[in-house]
Each structure stands twice: as C-alpha cells, then as structure tokens.
C-alpha cells in the first residue's frame, strides 16, 4: 500500500493493483494482493494529493471536483 501511495505522490498517472476480498485465498499473487478497503485508502489519498496539487497549481475547481475513473475487473 505504501508503494502505491508513493507512486501517486511521485506523480504516477495511475496504478495497476490486484484486489481480492480475502487476499490470502486469492488463487494467485496473494502476497501482492490488497483488500477493497486498502484500495479505498489508496484512492482517498490519491484524490487528496491531486486536489491539493490542483489548488496549489491553480487548476480549475471543476477538475478538482470531478471524480477519477476506477476500473475494476474480475
């Protein structure tokens, strides 16, 4: 989770993550899989950083308010 937040803080445009409701039961990559709650935390932190940078750099308010797309796949 820290690496994801660090990537966003460093200016990454997006993250590729594996999410599973019970990572220890994931059929593959359990050691790098996060829970939906952890994804929500990364999302909140990323949006907060984006909003802070947008305000600091003078972006239009509507860009800060608009939610980013969250893509989920099975």
pLDDT, tens digit, for every residue of 31-48?
A: 989 999 999 988 888 888
% residues pLDDT > 70 (the chain): 77
Range of the domain at 12: 2-65
| 48 inside domain | yes
At 12, is the pLDDT very low, low, confident or very high (cuts 50, 70, 90)? confident
Q: What are phi and psi of 18, to 5 degrees?
A: -105, 125
As for how many domains the chain has, the answer is 1
| 71 inside domain | no
SS (H, E, C) the chain: CHHHHHHHHCCCCCCCCEECCCHHHCCCCHHHEECHHHHHHHHHHHHHHHHHHHHHCCCCHHHHHCCCCCCCCC
Give the torsion sign (CA, 11, 64, 34, 18).
negative
| 72 inside domain | no
From 59, 56, 55, 29, select the one nearest 17 (Cα to Cα): 29
| 11 inside domain | yes
| 57 inside domain | yes
């Amino acid at each position: 989770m820290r690496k994801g937040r660090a990537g966003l803080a460093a200016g990454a445009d997006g993250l590729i993550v594996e999410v599973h409701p019970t990572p220890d039961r994931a059929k593959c990559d359990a050691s790098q899989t996060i829970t939906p709650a952890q994804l929500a935390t990364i999302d909140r932190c990323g949006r907060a950083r984006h909003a802070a940078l947008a305000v600091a750099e003078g972006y239009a308010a509507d860009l800060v308010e608009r939610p980013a797309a969250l893509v989920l796949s099975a």
